[in-house]
Structures are given as structure tokens and as C-alpha cells.
Amino acid sequence: MTLPIRLDRAATPLIDPARAASKLDAAGGDFGEVLRRTLGDASQMQDEARSTIEAFLRGEPVDLHQVMAASEEASIALELLVEMRNKLTDAYRTLMNMS
């Protein structure tokens, strides 16, 4: 038995360099604003994953692959933020240790 595959939205890469560059340009080159927007995007993905899971558990017409995809996207976004934090922390420590 095969399940029908239904895509509700186009598959887009999680990190799009052109989109990131346009965000930076739109923010006037302010790295902090880009970081805040990225954090907001990741938070939104977490909320969407949570609502998709809840809808699935309530028995609403949500396919299992949608639940898994939303959960994985949210997980990858969170991992990306953690790695960004780690790299920023390393860069800060390197700058502080320079004479």
C-alpha cells in the first residue's frame, strides 16, 4: 500500500544565500537585525511543527510525512542556530584573546 504524496508548499532550501544577502541588504547591513529575523524564522518553524503535530494527534487530515517534514525542518533550524551561536562565541573568544 502506498500513501499519496501531497505537497502543500514548494520545497525550498533552509538556507538560501541569495535570501540571506537580501535580508542583510534590507536591514541596511545590520547583522543584529538579520540575526533577530533568523531567530524569529526558527521560532516560527518550531510553532508550525508543533501545530502540525497537534493537528495530526487530533485526527485532522494531516499526512504523516507533513508532520515529519515540519519536525525535521524545525530541528534543522534549531541546529543551525546553535551552530551559529557556537561560531559567534568562538569568534568572540578569539578576539578577546588577541593582544
Q: How do residues 36-90 score in pLDDT, each as one tens digit?
A: 888 999 999 999 999 999 999 999 999 999 999 999 999 999 999 999 999 999 9
- The answer as to whether 81 is a domain residue is yes
Sorting pLDDT into bands at 50, 70 and 90, what band is 4? Answer: very low
Whether residue 17 is contained in a domain is answered as no
Cβ atoms of 48 and 75 within 8 Å: the answer is no
Nearest to 15 by CA among 68, 87, 83: 83
* pTM of the complete model: 0.65
Judge whether residue 91 has pLDDT over 70. yes
The number of domains in the chain is 1
More reliable by pLDDT, 10 or 56: 56
- Asked if 45 contacts 3 with a C-beta cutoff of 8 angstroms, the reply is no
76: in domain: yes
Q: Give the helix/strand (H/E) hosting 85.
A: helix 64-97
Is the pLDDT confidence value at 99 over 90?
no
